[in-house]
A = this chain, B = another copy of it.
C-alpha cells in the first residue's frame, strides 16, 4: 500500500510573522499536516490585494516553532502566497490558511483585508483557502475560541473536493469559547465605513490627514456575517474573485451602445 501523503498547509497573514494570531493558528493545525509559513516581515493591514511590482522581494528563514518551516517576506500578503508556491514549496499546497487576524474582516472589510486577499489569491490558483479573523484588535487577545474553531474547520475541509476555488472568510467573535454557538454559513453584509479624516498641522504648519471611520451596518438580513457574529456564531462566508455583477450585466445591455 502506498504511503499516505501528508497534506501541505501553507500559512500566511497580514499582521506579520511576529503576530500572536499567526503563532496561534500554526499551533492549532500543526499536527494536521506539514505546516510551512511565509508571512510578511512587517504589518500589512489594509493592504488589500496589493502586489509588489516596482521592487524586488526578500525572503528570510525564521525560527518560529519546532517542526515548522518558516520564512518572512518583504512583500505584501499576496506576494507571500505567490512566492511561497513558486520558490518555497515549488508546488501548490493542499490548503492555504491566513490569519488569525487581529481584528474583524467581516462585511466590506474583506475588500481591504490583506488576510483575505492572501486567501483569495490562493483560490485563484485553485488552492482551497481559509482566512481567519478574531474580533479583537489587541495583541493580547484570547485566541482559544478562534484556535478551536480554526482547527475544527480545517479538519472538515482538508482533503475534501468542495470547489476548486474554495475560499472562506471566517470571523470569530471575541467571547469565551463556551459561549460560541458554532459555525454559520453567511453572506457578506452590506456595511461600510463613514469616513471622517482628522486634519492636523505638522510643526511646520502644513496640513496632514489621518483616516478614521465609523463602521455602519446597513444590512438588516439575518443571513449576514455581521448578524451571525452579533449572535455569537463563527461566520463563514464563501468568497469569490469573479467580481462580475451578473444581474446588472443584462440590464446594462439596454443602456450602453
Q: Which residues of A pack against B, CB within 8 Å?
A: 43, 45-54, 56-59, 78-79, 82-83, 85-87, 108, 110-112, 117, 120, 124-125, 153, 156-157, 160, 162-163, 166-169, 182-183, 185-188, 190, 192, 195-197, 199-200, 206-211, 236-246, 248-249, 251-253, 255-257
Q: How far is the CA of A225 from the CA of B99 in the complex (A)?
A: 33
Q: How far is the CA of A254 from the CA of B20 in the complex (A)?
A: 32
Contact A209 B59 (CB under 8 A): yes
A-B pairs with lowest CB-CB distance, top 9: A48-B49, A238-B248, A56-B208, A240-B245, A48-B48, A239-B243, A238-B245, A187-B244, A50-B50
- Across the interface, name the chain B residue whose C-beta is closest to A73: B209
* A182 partner residues in chain B, CB cutoff 8 A: 257
Contact A87 B43 (CB under 8 A): no
* A111 partner residues in chain B, CB cutoff 8 A: 49, 120, 124, 241, 243
Contact A192 B125 (CB under 8 A): yes
Contact A48 B46 (CB under 8 A): no
* A110 partner residues in chain B, CB cutoff 8 A: 243
Partner of A252, one of B53, B56, B238: B238
Contact B239 A196 (CB under 8 A): no
- Across the interface, name the chain B residue whose C-beta is closest to A54: B43
Q: How far is the CA of A82 from the CA of B111 in the complex (A)?
A: 15
Contact A249 B57 (CB under 8 A): no
Contact A255 B157 (CB under 8 A): yes
* A59 partner residues in chain B, CB cutoff 8 A: 207, 209
Q: How far is the CA of A57 from the CA of B163 in the complex (A)?
A: 41
Q: How far is the CA of A242 from the CA of B108 in the complex (A)?
A: 8
Partner of A162, one of B190, B239, B251: B251
Q: How far is the CB of A256 from chain B (nearest CB, A)?
A: 5
Q: How far is the CA of A186 from the CA of B248 in the complex (A)?
A: 11
- Across the interface, name the chain B residue whose C-beta is closest to A48: B49
- Across the interface, name the chain B residue whose C-beta is closest to A256: B183
* A120 partner residues in chain B, CB cutoff 8 A: 111, 243
Q: How far is the CA of A246 from the CA of B224 in the complex (A)?
A: 12
Partner of A209, one of B57, B108, B242: B57
Q: How far is the CB of A209 from chain B (nearest CB, A)?
A: 5
Contact A156 B255 (CB under 8 A): yes
* A255 partner residues in chain B, CB cutoff 8 A: 156-157, 160, 162
Contact A239 B244 (CB under 8 A): yes
- Across the interface, name the chain B residue whose C-beta is closest to A246: B187
